[in-house]
Amino acid sequence: MVPKELLYTKSHEWVKREDGTVRVGITDYAQKKLGDVVYVEFPQVGTKVKKGEAVVTVESVKAAESVYAPVSGEVVEVNEALSSSPGTVNRDPYGEGWLFVLKMDDPAELEELLGPEEYASIAGEG
C-alpha cells in the first residue's frame, strides 16, 4: 500500500515533507525487490547533493542499490539506527526504516515528484 501523504520518485524513493527538510527512504516495492537488507552506507552529515545523485547505498543479500536524492540539498541527518539494525528497512520502510534527511536548496523541486497515485501505477500497486 502506498502511503497517501508522501511523494515519490521513479527510482522508488519516498519523500516526506517536513519543516524546510525532507525525510527520505525507499518504498515497500523497492525493499521487496532488494530482499533482506544487510548493510546501509551513509554519507557524512553536511554532504551537499544534487537532485538525482546517489546518496546512500543499500546492500541486501541479492544486490547493492543506490538511493538517490529526490531534491538538491544538504544531508542534515542519517538514520544511525540502521547501522546496527539494517533489516528495519524491510520491516518498516515508511517509518523507522527511513534513510536520511535533506535540507532543501529549492522546495520547488518537490513539484517534480510523483504523487501516490502516479507512483502506485509505476510500482504495480494501482
Q: State the Cα–Cα distance between residues 71 and 68, nearest whole angstrom.
A: 9
How high is the pLDDT of residue 121? 93
How high is the pLDDT of residue 95? 97
* DSSP state, residue 109: G
Cell numbers standing for residue 110? 518537490
How high is the pLDDT of residue 12? 97
Q: Which parts of the chain sit beneath pLDDT 50?
A: none
DSSP strands (E only) in the chain = 7-8, 13-17, 21-26, 37-41, 48-49, 54-60, 64-68, 73-78, 100-104
How high is the pLDDT of residue 125? 67
The hierarchical CATH code for the domain 7-119 is 2.40.50.100
